[in-house]
Structure 1
């Protein structure tokens, strides 16, 4: 039985690290927890997990945003399914839940970015979830 669970406490956030680490390989557990907690407090970041029975199989992190381009929208920051659980419909179930949350809270757009190398993810977003490519995302690292 699939179960959607909000992860609010530090312990709950920490419980998603093994799944989230598959996507965010550059983070250690303490940095991950600190970043999630700060984003929850300052940016309205929502973290949730999908369980199949007692096993966490996927996680999603998203936040409401406002830009002149999209207006009010939801930005999916993180969406990951455990490698052993892929192609079982979990990502679709989790992202569909985000879509419903967005509608319930008055957001008409859900947007995300995906690494250029993630060809399978792009196919999923376009073919299964009916997302459209809208732009490229550019990044410049600054020395601080």
Structure 2
């Protein structure tokens, strides 16, 4: 049975193994902008220890098979912006061996519950334009496209 729980320091290595999968997939989708690698362990540790972050893991019989990390954010003080406190999800990652088994849904649901409990009004994230599977997953979970970043290689 999969348990969603807050990450602890002993999870750092397994979380970073999942980051390797994520960064490899991202580099495949956008090789001109992204490269394979590991996450800086200090980022993961900060996600565990800093109360502005919320780092959850999906635990299957003592093995981390997924994680999600979000940060509490507030809109900048621009006159045109409605001021709000929201959660920005940096990453949701599942081990390739458990994909399409509901792990991502469990992590996203837990993030939504956390954001609501912290009186946040929105949950936001970014997804690569080429990542159709992730876009379909997020749309099924009720997320909608709110902005598009555009770029050009010179």
Pairwise CA distance, 1:124: 0.5
Is this contact kept in 2: 1:114–1:121, CA < 8 A? yes
Q: Which residue of 2 aligns with 1:135?
A: 147
Distance 1:43 1:117 in 2: 32
Q: Is the radius of gyration larger for structure 1 or structure 2?
A: 2
Distance 2:95 2:63 in 1: 10
Is this contact kept in 2: 1:50–1:59, CA < 8 A? yes
Aligned CA RMSD, in angstroms, stands at 2.3
Distance 1:81 1:36 in 2: 16
Distance 1:125 1:16 in 2: 21
The count of aligned residue pairs is 136
Off by >6 Å, runs of 4+ in structure 1: none
> What TM-score, normalized to structure 1?
0.82
Q: Which residue of 2 aligns with 1:123?
A: 136
SS at match of 1:21: helix
Q: Which residue of 2 aligns with 1:4?
A: 4
Matches within 5 A, 1:61-100: 61-68=69-76, 69=81, 71-100=84-113
Pairwise CA distance, 1:71: 1.5
Residues 39 and 5 (structure 1 numbering): CA distance in 2 closer, same or farther, change over 3 Å? closer
Pairwise CA distance, 1:98: 0.2
Distance 1:12 1:39 in 2: 12
Pairwise CA distance, 1:39: 5.5
Pairwise CA distance, 1:43: 7.7
Distance 1:14 1:105 in 2: 28
After superposition, give the CA deviation of every residue in 1:27-51 in whole Å (9 maximum; x if it has no partner): 33xx520223345666822222101
> Is the aligned partner of 1:103 residue 2:119?
no
Q: Which runs of 5 or more structure 2 residues have no equivalent in the other structure?
A: 25-35
